[in-house]
């Protein structure tokens, strides 16, 4: 059945009222929101028809109506009025970023936490590592007699480090030799080509020193794998406890949110779109049935950088959230691009 204009306007009014209150919406409330005269009886008849179509639901016999997932989808795809951000709203988002911190990992962490605070929802940030990402530089710094810090910098701006213990007393001469050795062999090599077989080849070339330097090479390999895997940052999970409709299955929800593989799969499935709304039941995960997920991907220069998502109750204000998230993602991508460019300019 094709919905006429009156049914669509009534559906929009119900969705918007439910987003604001979280309570079932009655006919009198709908009448007060419409821009044309109509009686409560007529609205009730239309609400009943929308319920028969599965677009509205009635939680209790005497209560008003709430949108079904089908109703939300119609609203998001056809009825939602998204307004561009004002300069004041853009300035508020700009102020959330710690632009003075040059570390991309820290920038992503700060962005995730700021967005969680801004939206009162949970947030997740993922990064994509380009297939052509290469090693820019490796540094190894003495931290103790037998302890070193291994630092790997990649062309996509990611910098990761790991503490490594060795079976001999470190000297600056030995470190200088090894740093030159690994940079000669790793620099400009793509991450996907840094395999265990490659590490074994390097160990063979070290001859009698292979046992000595093995822990350092293994640490470099592990860091390269972490960089290639990308980042996953989750924040604001406790914000979801403020929504009473999520309290009954909070444990299952939190378990899902902390499952990196499942949540990353959900977020990454949205990367074909600049902004995508996933309604809980569409994700085919029972833990998400009462949730809405809005995902925006961001670019670093011309490269796909990753995605940032907001997870909240299914009644979150999509019309407000989508433009804010889009601008947030664009700002994040621009700042990351500036950070990476400044790092690549370093000698």
For 215-240, give the DSSP string.
HHHHHHHHHHHHHHH--EEEE-GGGG
**What DSSP designation does 25 have?**
B
According to CATH, the superfamily of the domain at 87-128+230-344 is GAF domain (3.30.450.40)
pLDDT tens by residue, 12-45: 999 999 998 888 999 999 999 998 899 999 999 9
Pick the CATH number of 5-79 from 1.10.10.10, 1.10.287.70, 1.20.58.100, 3.90.1150.10: 1.10.10.10
- Per-residue pLDDT tens digits for 101-146: 556 777 788 888 888 988 999 999 888 787 888 999 999 999 999 9
Q: Would 87-128+230-344 and 135-229 be classified into the same CATH topology? A: no
CATH 3.30.390.60 is held by the domain 135-229: yes
Average pLDDT, integer, range 334-343: 75
86 Rama class: left (phi>0) / alpha (psi -120 to 50) / beta: beta
Tell me the C-alpha distance between 148 and 151, whole Å.
Answer: 10
Which stretches of the chain are DSSP H helices?
5-21, 27-33, 40-52, 69-74, 87-94, 104-119, 172-186, 196-205, 210-229, 250-257, 260-268, 318-344
What's the predicted TM-score (pTM) here?
A: 0.79
Report domain extents, the chain: 5-79, 87-128+230-344, 135-229
Q: Are strands 122-127 and 303-313 parallel, antiparallel or unpaired?
A: antiparallel
Give dist(CA 253, CA 174) in Å, integer: 51
Nearest alpha-carbon partner for 189 in 201, 175, 204: 201
């Amino acid at each position: 059945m094709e919905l006429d204009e009156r049914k669509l306007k009534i559906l929009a009014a119900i969705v918007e009222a439910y987003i604001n209150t979280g309570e079932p919406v009655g006919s009198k409330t709908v009448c007060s929101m419409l821009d044309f005269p109509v009686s409560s009886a007529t609205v009730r008849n239309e609400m009943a028809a929308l319920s028969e179509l599965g677009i509205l639901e009635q939680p209790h016999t005497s209560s008003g109506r709430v949108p079904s997932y089908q109703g939300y989808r119609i609203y998001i795809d056809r009825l939602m009025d998204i307004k561009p951000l004002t300069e004041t709203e853009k300035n508020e988002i700009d102020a959330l970023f710690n632009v003075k911190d040059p570390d991309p990992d820290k920038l992503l962490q700060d962005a995730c936490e700021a967005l969680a605070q801004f939206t009162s929802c949970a947030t997740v940030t993922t990064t994509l590592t380009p297939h052509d990402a290469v090693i820019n530089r490796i540094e190894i710094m003495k931290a103790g007699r037998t302890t070193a810090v291994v630092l790997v910098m990649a062309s996509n701006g990611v910098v990761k480090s790991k503490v490594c213990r060795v079976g001999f007393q470190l000297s600056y001469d030995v470190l200088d030799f090894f740093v030159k050795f690994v940079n000669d062999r790793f620099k400009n090599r793509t991450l996907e080509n840094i395999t265990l077989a490659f590490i074994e080849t390097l160990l063979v070339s070290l001859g009698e020193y292979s046992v000595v330097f093995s822990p350092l090479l293994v640490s470099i390999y592990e860091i390269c794998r972490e960089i290639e895997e990308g980042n996953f940052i989750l924040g604001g999970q406790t914000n979801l406890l403020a929504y009473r409709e999520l309290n009954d299955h909070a444990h299952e929800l939190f378990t899902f949110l902390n499952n990196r593989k499942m949540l990353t799969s959900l977020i990454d499935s949205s990367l074909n779109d600049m902004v995508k709304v996933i309604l809980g039941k569409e994700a085919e995960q029972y833990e998400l049935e009462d949730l809405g997920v809005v995902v925006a991907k961001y670019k670093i220069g011309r490269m796909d950088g990753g995605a940032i998502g907001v997870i909240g109750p299914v009644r979150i204000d999509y019309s407000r959230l989508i433009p804010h998230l889009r601008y947030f993602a664009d700002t994040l991508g621009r700042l990351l691009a500036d950070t990476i460019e400044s790092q690549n300019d370093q000698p």
